[in-house]
């Protein structure tokens, strides 16, 4: 997964987006463990690896969200911001205690990692769309998500729109996502 993340970071930079400049250094394992100890869930190995790679994005008031997107519409949350969101949403009827937010659209929608009470290696990634009671898995794992994003950049499914924001060719993206998350119904249509 780390190779995919490094390539995605380079591609964001190549597109001229500030995202790669705004990514914070990764956290040390003991920093991640200290945060995890205060939660009623266990991070998966993938989630630890993600935050060990980079601690999300520093968002300044002057930043346009389009300049810091990691994928269309979403930016990578710092673990501190993710914790704040988790604490706000964890008692919501629509939110499961096992969900940890990792990407945000800054409007109440998130991509969340499914964690558990036991140590596991992978995290399905769920799309939490606040206006939809159905919360569906978008990716079989964080690794599958990063492989999908990496391939979407490589194969031209992601591109910059007229406003300089990351956009996607829907059909092409669906085909790529299906390759890496073949068990999920969302990509079969």
Q: Could you give the CA distance from residue 54 to residue 63 in angstroms, rounded to a whole number? A: 19
Name which of 24-38, 79-93, 100-114, 128-142 the model is least confident about. 128-142
pLDDT digits (tens, 9 = 90+) for 68-118: 889 999 999 999 999 999 999 988 888 888 999 999 998 889 999 999 766
Most confident of 7-11, 38-42, 66-70, 135-139: 7-11
Distance of CA 146 to the CA centre of its chain: 8
Q: How many residues belong to the chain?
A: 189
Question: Residue 59: pLDDT band by 50, 70, 90 thresholds?
Answer: confident
Question: Residue 20: pLDDT band by 50, 70, 90 thresholds?
Answer: confident
Q: Is the pLDDT assigned to residue 119 strictly greater than 80? A: no
Q: Is the pLDDT assigned to residue 123 strictly greater than 80? A: yes
Query: What pLDDT shows up at residue 63?
Result: 67
- Please, what is the average pLDDT of the chain? 90
Question: Residue 132: pLDDT band by 50, 70, 90 thresholds?
Answer: confident
Give the residue from 130, 125, 129 showing the smallest Cα distance to 147: 125
Pair type for strands 166-168 and 125-128: unpaired
DSSP secondary structure letters along the chain: -HHHHHHHHHHHHHTT-THHHHEEEPPPHHHHHHHHHTSSSB--HHHHHHHHHEEEE---TT--HHHH-SBTTBEEPPHHHHHHHHHHHTTSTT--TTEEEEEE-SSS-EEEEE-BSS--S---EEEE-TT-S--EEEESSHHHHHHHHHHHHHTTSEEE-TTS-EEE-HHHHHHHHHHH-TT-GGGT-
pLDDT higher at 134 or 56: 56
Query: What pLDDT shows up at residue 31?
Result: 96
């Amino acid at each position: 997964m780390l190779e995919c993340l490094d390539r995605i970071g380079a591609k964001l930079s190549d597109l001229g987006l500030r995202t790669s400049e705004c990514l914070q250094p990764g956290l040390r394992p003991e920093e991640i463990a200290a945060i995890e100890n205060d939660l009623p869930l266990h991070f998966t190995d993938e989630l630890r690896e993600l935050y060990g790679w980079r601690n999300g994005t520093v968002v300044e008031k002057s930043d346009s969200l389009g300049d810091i997107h990691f994928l269309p519409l979403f930016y990578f949350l710092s673990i501190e911001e993710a914790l704040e969101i988790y604490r706000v949403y964890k008692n919501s009827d629509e939110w499961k205690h096992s969900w940890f937010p990792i990407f945000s659209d800054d409007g109440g929608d998130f991509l969340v990692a499914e964690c558990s009470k036991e140590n596991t290696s992978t995290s399905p990634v769920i799309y939490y769309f606040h206006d939809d009671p159905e919360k569906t898995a978008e990716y079989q794992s964080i690794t599958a998500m990063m492989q999908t994003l990496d391939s979407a950049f490589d194969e031209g499914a992601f591109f910059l729109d007229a406003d300089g924001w990351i956009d996607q060719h829907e059909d092409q993206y669906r085909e790529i996502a299906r390759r890496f998350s073949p068990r999920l119904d969302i990509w079969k249509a």
